[in-house]
Structures are given as structure tokens and as C-alpha cells.
Amino acid sequence: MFGYRVPAPDEAMLISGGRRGLGGAPFRVVTGHGKFVLPVLRKVRFLTLSMCESEVTETCVTRQGIALHVRAVIAFKVGNDHESIINAGQRFLSDQEQMSVLTGRIFAGHLRAIIGSMTVEEIVTERQKLAAEVLDTSKTEMAKIGLIVDSLQIQSIDDGDTGYIDAMSAPHKAAIQRQAQIAQAQATQASVEAEQVAARNQAEYARQTAIVKAEYSAEVDRAQAQAAQAGPLAQAHAQQEVLAAQTELALRQAKLRQQQLVAEVVRPAEAEAERVRILAAAEAQRMKIQAEAAASYDRVALDRMLIDQLPQIVKEAAGGLAGANVNVLNGADGLGEIAAGLVSQGLTILDSVRQNLGGQESDGRRPEKGDGGGNGGSSLLQLPSSKGGRKSDDGPVDVD
């Protein structure tokens, strides 16, 4: 639109003519929006609000009298408030490049003043303190011309050919060099140790490789030897199996022959021996039975014969007493006792004969005719002739 002007975001529009501005300023300040400006009657100018830079290179003398060449960079701009814009517009609107020149000169003066109150050690080691003091001392003066400083950087400090800073840094350089040498020695030692470790690892790897190769070679040799021996071993195993089969066959044939011998010879011999034993046992039993029967028959016959001859025995005994001199006491009782004694003696003789016959039978021999009683049909008992008799005190009569 004709007559409507708008400032840029980093500019301030100054309108002169007509009414005065704020605080009796010769112009009005417009920022951030547009304004209708009557042509011919009003005049519009623009003041930059962007960041500006100024370099300062100054030779300053310290409190110790040592000259230092200082190089600094100042970043500044026009303040955003109307008062700062008015102050800067009144001073720099026609030649805005002068802001950098004037700012450099202002800071050069403050820099010389502050460095003159400090030592080289303080300046070198406390650059931030130096910059802060310069800013503080220049703030009021910069505000009067409508400028504000965003930062001040001390870029370099040089003492020229005096060598003071180098001498001051010599102990530190020596310590640093010493530390560097120590670090270098440690690095060298570490490198040597690493090389030694690498060499040992390589040697170990070579040893393991050689061992593995030897194991592989031995395994290959074993496999080749086994392959070479496979044929003979197989043949030997086959022969061994054939021998084992032949041995087994021979054992079976021997066992079969043994069984045949047992069946053909041993069993018949055992059967014949058993038959002979049974026949002998039967014959012995038969003979025993016959002997027992004969012995039983002989005992019966002998007992009968003894019984038949018992009266004759008693008679012979009594006949022996006929010529004996016997004194009989107690009358008839005494005769009875003598007769009873004769009969008792006859029975005792009979029992003795029977026991003798039984003993002969137990010895396994048969009594011959005439044993234990005479020959043929003679008497079984021979009584001794009586020599006499004597009277017993108790009444019985003893016959000698």
C-alpha cells in the first residue's frame, strides 16, 4: 500500500517529521509492526538491530611492567528498548559502521586499564576474570550510546620477545614433558609387552598347530596302517572263525562218540553187571533162605531128639547116683530135692546145647551130625561117673 512501511525483524524504523518521539526524541521508533507514513511530510530511516563484531588488538603493560600483545573480539548490538534505539540512532544512524570502530576503541581503553592492574600469571591463568572485568567497566559507557555487549573473548596473549610466558610455562612444560616421557616409556613398555605377548601367542599358536598337524598325521598313519592290515586281519579272522568252527565240530563229534560209547559199551556193561548183581543177590538170598530153613529144620529135629532123650539123660544121671554114697536128710523131702536137681541139670544141659547151636548158626555154618551130643544115634550127653556124694549143710545134695 502506498505510504505504509514495515521494518525488518532485525531493524528499527525511525520516522522523523511531525510529532516528536518518546522522551522528546526527534523521531518516532517503530519495531515489529508496520506504520502508515505520509510521503514528503515524513521521512523514514532504518537502524539495524543485528549482531555486530569488533576486533581489538592492543599492546598492554601489566603491573609487572611486561608488555603484552592482546587480541580480543567483542560481540555487541543495539539494545531492543526504545531508549537504546534512540541513543544509538542519534549517534550512528547516518554512519552505522562507526559502531564497530567506537566499540573497539572503548574496549581497548578498558582492556589497557584492567591489564595494567594484573600480573602476567593472573592474565594468563584467569582470562575469564579479565573478560568479566572489562565487560563490567564498559557496560555503563556502552549503555550511554545505546549498545549492549553480548560477549568478550580474549583470543590471544603474547609477550613478544621477552619470553616471560615461556619461562613461566617452563616448569609446566618440563612436568608435561616428563609426564609425556613417562607416558611414552609406559607406552613403549606396553608395546614391548604386547609384542612379547603377541610373540608368545604366535609361538603357542604355532605349537598347537604343530601338535594338531602331528595328531592329524598320526591319525592318517593309523588309518593307513589299519587299511593296510585290514586284508590280512580279515583273512586271519576268517581263518580263526574256520578253526573255531572246526574245533566246535570236533568237540561235538567227540561228544557224540562218547555218547555212542556210553550207549554201546558202558550201558550194556552196567546192565550186565546189574543183572549179575541181582542174580547173585537172588542166589544168596535163596541160599540164605534154604540155610535158615535147614537150620530151622535141624533145630526142630534136635529139640525133638533132645526132648525124646531127656528121660534117658535123667535116667543115666540117676543111674550114676546108684553106686554113690549119698546121705539123704529130711526123708522124702530130701529125695524130692535130689530128683528135682537132676531134672534141673538136664534142662540146663538142654539150654546149653541150644545156645551152642544158635552160635554156630550165627557164624554161618551148619552143625554137623553128631556135634554137641555124640556120633550117629549115640547119647547127646556124657555124664561123668559118680565119685561119691556129700551131705549139704542146708539140705540140698551136690553131685560131683
Query: Mind listing the pLDDT tens digit for each residue in 288-339?
Result: 888 887 777 766 676 677 677 766 766 665 665 555 554 545 555 655 666 5
Task: Pick 382 or 278 by higher pLDDT.
Answer: 278
Residue 7 has a pLDDT of 84
For residues 79 and 88, what is the distance between their CA atoms, to the nearest angstrom?
8
Give the per-residue SS3 of the chain. Answer: CCCEECCCCCEEEEEECCCCCHHHCCEEEECCCCEECCCCCCEEEEEECCCEEEEEEEEEECCCCCEEEEEEEEEEEECCCHHHHHHHHHHHCCCCCHHHHHHHHHHHHHHHHHHCCCCHHHHHHCHHHHHHHHHHHHHHHHHHCCEEEEEEEEEEEECCCCCHHHHHHHHHHHHHHHHHHHHHHHHHHHHHHHHHHHHHHHHHHHHHHHHHHHHHHHHHHHHHHHHHHHHHHHHHHHHHHHHHHHHHHHHHHHHHHHHHHHHHHHHHHHHHHHHHHHHHHHHHHHHHHHHHHHHHHHHHHHHHHHHHHHHHHHHHHHHHHHCCCCCCCCCHHHHHHHHHHHHHHHHHHHHHHHHHHHHHHHCCCCCCCCCCCCCCCCCCCCCCCCCCEEECCCCCEEEC
Residue 343 has a pLDDT of 59
User: pLDDT at residue 211 above 90?
Assistant: yes
Measured in Å, how far apart are the chain's first and last C-alpha atoms?
208
User: pLDDT at residue 386 above 70?
Assistant: no
For residues 223 and 219, what is the distance between their CA atoms, to the nearest angstrom?
6
Q: Of 340-354, 356-370, 382-396, which gets the smallest average pLDDT?
A: 382-396
Residue 43 pairs in a beta bridge with 16
Question: Which pLDDT tens digit goes with each residue over 241-277?
Answer: 889 989 999 999 999 988 888 888 888 888 888 888 8
Residue 29 has a pLDDT of 83
For residues 389 and 393, what is the distance between their CA atoms, to the nearest angstrom?
13
Question: Which pLDDT tens digit goes with each residue over 51-77?
Answer: 899 998 888 888 888 888 889 899 998
User: Is the CB of residue 295 less than 8 Å from the CB of residue 359?
Assistant: no
Instruction: Give the pLDDT mean for 185-194.
Output: 90
Task: Pick 351 or 179 by higher pLDDT.
Answer: 179
Contacts of 36-42 with CB under 8 Å at 24 or more apart are 36/1, 36/3, 36/4, 36/5, 37/3, 37/4, 37/5, 38/3, 39/2, 39/3, 41/17, 42/15, 42/16, 42/17, 42/18
Question: Which pLDDT tens digit goes with each residue over 98-132?
Answer: 888 998 898 888 888 888 888 888 888 888 888 88
Q: Is the pTM of this model over 0.85?
A: no
Residue 251 has a pLDDT of 92
Short-list 6, 7, 12, CA closest to 86: 12
